[in-house]
Amino acid sequence: MDILLTNREEPAALSSPSSLTVVVAVNRSKNSFCAIKWTLEKFLSEERICFKLLHVCPPITTVPTPLGNYLISQVRDDVAVAYKKEMEWKTLKMLLPYKQMFTAKKVEVEVLLIEADDVADAIARQ
């Protein structure tokens, strides 16, 4: 679980103050609930704030079949695309309780799904 804070400055033509972006990296652990709860308690009163949920998934390189696992390049394109969409759907379903925590506080949150082998590096690049 990681929380990233970034300042996003508005263009000079606008006179409004800069906004704050809070990115919470989550996984399936209970710590993710704690991180989101803490984030909402800490930053909910801030004006001009943007919340983002970040989840890093390993790249999909194989597709499971009844006959075994096959490399993505060994299956038909439609099968690979369908499997990737199914995995994305499962991930979004897993993130739904986290997203509902923001919805309960009447706060918008953007969900970012990233495919990467190195979780820490993927988080750092955000």
Three-state SS string over 65-120 comes to: ECCEEEEHHHCCHHHHHHHHHHHHHHHHHHHHHHHHHHHHCCCCEEEEEEECCCHH
**Would you state the structure tokens that stand for residue 14, as one six-digit string?**
């606008």
Q: How far is CA 11 from CA 6, 8, 14, 16, 18, in A?
A: 16, 10, 6, 9, 9
- Residue 9 confidence (pLDDT): 42
- Residue 123 confidence (pLDDT): 87
- Residue 5 confidence (pLDDT): 45
Strand, coil or helix: what is 64?
strand
- Residue 6 confidence (pLDDT): 44
Domain regions of the chain by residue span: 21-125
Are the C-beta atoms of 43 and 11 separated by less than 8 Å? Answer: no
pLDDT in tens, the chain (126 residues): 444 444 444 444 444 557 888 999 999 888 999 999 999 999 988 778 899 999 999 998 989 888 888 888 888 899 889 999 999 999 999 999 999 999 999 999 999 999 999 989 988 887
Superfamily name with CATH number, domain 21-125: HUPs (3.40.50.620)
- Residue 12 confidence (pLDDT): 41
* Side-chain half-sphere CA neighbours of 47 within 13 A: 3
- Residue 46 confidence (pLDDT): 78
- Residue 17 confidence (pLDDT): 57
